[in-house]
A and B are shown apart, each in its own frame.
Chain A
Amino acid sequence: MLEAAIEGLQGVLTLQSLSMMLLGVFIGSLVGFLPGIGGPTTLAIMLPFVMVMKDPVPVIALLVGIDAVGNTASAFTSILISVPGSSGSQATILDGYPMAKRGEAARALSASFIASLIGGLIGPIILLASLPVLRPLVLAFGSPEFFVLTLWGLAMVGVLSGNAPVKGLMAGILGVLIATVGMDIKSGIERFAFGEPYLWDGISLIIVALGIFGVPECIDLASRKSSISEKHELGSGFKQGILDVFQNMWLTVRSSAIGIWVGFLPGLGSSVADWFAYAHAVQTEKNNRNFGRGDVRGVIAPEASNNAKEAGSYIPTLAFGIPGGTSTALILVAFTAVGINPGPEMLTTQLPFTFAIIWTLTISNIIAVALCMAFAKPIAKCCFFPFYTIVPLILVFVFIGAFAAHFNHYDLVALLIFSALGFMMRRHGWPRAPLLLGVVLGTKMELYLWLSYTRFGTEWLLRPGVIILFTLVLASVLYPVWQNLRRSGSDTAEAG
């Protein structure tokens, strides 16, 4: 194995591979920075160029480089303008943007990048450590287990609802209903599509996110006639953000582990990791009252997890040749074109390529974070732009991001509808994150419930994995309730 590791590293450190990796990191960061233009779009554009390359390692360096860093730079827009740069940085908005408004954009950004770096480094290490047990690890999760995982995700609605649990629950249900729009592939039945082909494929998650978060914040800025930041100085927040991550190292490690776990489950998708990590932080951290109001731990947790997730998504790819998501599916196409055979050979005859992937994940994360740190201060200054400059700029980003969903004019109509919904929710104190979580998980929840029931009847409820996961769901729901009861009990005792 050591020989393969060295061979993989040598392959990655050649001039050609390193330049490809640099190019990949640059493109991945640029794409992460631009809302709505996801990693899959970029990889699809790059495919024709890499398919003609002869040497597989530079192809790994370029594509894995693009894929690994997309979630690092996406924190810029999530934190600075409340617009998610990618689907993996949605939860970062919840605390990142309030920090930017409070004049702590630099602190939020540096905490985000260092958390991304640590997540991006822990990911490949765990990927490496799990090589011998990759296959049983992936096989342990069937449809019933995936269903309970989606339930677990939805149980987080409570965590994301703050002081308005009923409104949060209603928003979550609305999100699940939005996720049912479109053609049901199982029955071929249209649901809430009104015969309109645009709606057959459902409503794009990125449009919902841009609408309910991006536009309402623009309206708020314009109506306040102010800049994003209330203070006009970056201060020493940059160093503080780095320190924050080290002070919360255990949270960073746990969030990275959550990211890897979500990544290696091919059924959960790429938009879930940051939400799981965020909810975990709210549930397990002490003094959690500031979450949602600009707590740096609300930035660290999702950003560590979304970078670690990328390494996790290579686990099923390497174990079976099953891509963990659309990005890895496209990377597999390129790998096959240049003669790499994803599947069991990746752990035997093609082990040096596996190591080239692991090295690329590691090195490209370091380069991306250095790049983002270098640009953090100048870009953070956009928080001081007057509203008449920043609002049109954000709106351009938001509309281009939404239009990139399908390149269809109805994308803009959908954006306007969700913008109006987001504005009303914000104005009337309805938590918006549960709605987004409902959209993220609704389709998957329905799918895995259907598969569990049609395959196993009611027997699936007795599967050991399901029972264990159900217990964990209950524990995660009841633990905060128990904590609150205990706290209020001790408060009463103290008062008495």
Chain B
Amino acid sequence: MIRFLPHFFSAMLVVPSLTLLLSVRPAQSAAAKAHYEGKTITVLVSSNPGGGTDTAARLVARFLPKFLSGQPQTIIQNMPGGGGTIANNYFAAKAKPDGLMLFQDSSSGLGNFTRGGSRIKYDPRKNLAIGSITRGGSLMMISKESHARLTDPKAKKVVVGDSDGIRTWVATMVWAAEYLGWNLRFVYGYPGSQELQLALRQGEIDVWGTSNAKLINDFVKAGKHDVLFQQEDERRLGFPNVPTFEEVLGDKKPKGAAWEGYLAWSGPNEIDKFLVAPEGTPPAVLAELRAAFAKMGQDEEFKKQATNFFGDAWRTRTGEKTQAMIRDVTTISKEAQEVLTELRKKYALPTGEQRK
């Protein structure tokens, strides 16, 4: 009985807007005798409502059914906490491989897995990727007032702010401190990007990274902040004059385990927001989901909405490509893992409890 209560309540809330609901429900196809006919897909989301991961999930929940046979209903279930760990563990333990529960995760879930610890009870490599939405790499913003202190070791340290010290762009700043000698210290614990944005405006922190192009342009236009560099190895559309991190590193770019450790931490950003099905999902169902995701990426209305939310630099990736990338960025040698842990300790960032 109890498990039906949320549906009962959802129904109570939605009944008054029934007219509205009917007007937007996709029309049933005549040839829709298929896996998803009359079914409901639950999209589990690893963050609070309103953030980037949630927004990506809501876009997917709205557009994906259009390209699935039977055009199922979708509902969003937010399960925030622990940088995505709670939702990842839940999905690994509870999701049935029937294609009716999918998981929208972000690079933080991969970063936490790579960092390790006893509370990680999932392996993202076992999930089956359906596709990903990448919003473009992060750009580091710095207050003009603190810019000169970056390379002056005698000056007050430049403060880098983050929520949990695990974001992929934080890797660039740690490697900049280590290999370029930048005068940095890290403050983490801010609840989310809204608070970080406010802290940057207030001068409580000096450096923060985001992929939100509109926000970056707003900051730059206001005249108190510069863009330092961009995280990805290719310059983003709209920011052709901002160097990449590798360009900034130049000949100071480390080799071997040190660079592998950097790629393991920073790499998941390229995947960004990805949708997966649980291990064991029947190949036919997975193929249908992947094909629908690919078609969704070409839909004009989807493109328009995605541009509204993420700016011009977003793009989708296929499930196969996403799967390979997840495997790459989460497979790390012992030496690289050690470098990662040592640097996190050195710059007073949380290390988690490493996997044996």
Contact = CB atoms under 8 A, between A and B. Distances in A.
Contact of B198 (A30, A138, A201): A138
Given A326-B50, A337-B308, A451-B187, A183 B17 contact: no
A329 B58 contact: no
Interface string A329-353: 1101100110101011000000000
Contact of B188 (A139, A186, A409): A186
Nearest to B117: A188
Interface string B15-29: 011001100100000
Interface stretch (A47-55, A78-86, A296-304, A482-490): A47-55
A190 B352 CA distance: 11
A31 interface: yes
A268 to B, nearest CB: 12
Interface string B305-320: 1001100000000000
Interface string A25-66: 011001100100100111111111101100000000000000
A64 to B, nearest CB: 15
Interface string B69-107: 000000011101111011001100000000000000000
B324 interface: no
Interface stretch (B4-12, B31-39, B279-287): B4-12
A138 B197 CA distance: 12
Interface string B165-197: 100000000000000000000011111001101
A339 B308 contact: yes
Interface string A235-256: 0000000000000000000000
Contact of B61 (A27, A48, A344, A400): A48
Contacts of B327: none
A30 B194 contact: no
A43 B58 CA distance: 13
Interface in B136-160: 159
Contacts of A341: 214
Interface residues of A, number: 62
B339 to A, nearest CB: 19
Interface residues of A, dominant DSSP: helix
Give the interface size bracket for B toward A. 35 or more
Contacts of B21: 49
B204 interface: yes
B199 A142 contact: yes
Contacts of A321: 215, 218
B24 A42 contact: no
A192 interface: no
Contacts of A450: 189
B17 A267 contact: no
Contacts of B188: 186, 454
B13 A45 contact: yes
A387 interface: no
Interface in A190-232: 190, 197, 200-201
Contacts of B194: 266, 322-323, 329
A128 interface: no
B298 interface: no
B119 interface: yes
B2 interface: yes
B14 interface: yes
Given A326-B50, A447-B189, A447-B191, A320 B197 contact: yes
A407 interface: yes
A37 B353 CA distance: 37
A197 B86 contact: yes
Given A400-B5, A451-B187, A336 B81 contact: no
Nearest to B81: A201
A316 interface: yes
A400 B9 contact: yes
A404 interface: yes
B254 interface: no
B350 interface: yes
B241 interface: no
Interface in B298-341: 305, 308-309
A293 interface: no
A27 B13 contact: yes
A183 B119 contact: yes
A455 B50 contact: no
B275 interface: no
24 contacts: A23-B16, A23-B20, A30-B12, A44-B76, A45-B10, A46-B17, A183-B81, A183-B82, A188-B82, A188-B83, A197-B90, A322-B198, A326-B50, A329-B48, A329-B194, A330-B50, A336-B308, A337-B308, A339-B308, A403-B6, A407-B6, A409-B2, A454-B188, A455-B204
Q: What 8 A-B pairs have minimum CB-CB distances, sorted nearest first?
A: A329-B50, A201-B81, A186-B189, A322-B194, A183-B82, A188-B352, A407-B6, A142-B204
Given A48-B62, A322-B197, 7 more contacts: A23-B16, A44-B76, A46-B17, A49-B20, A330-B50, A332-B50, A454-B189
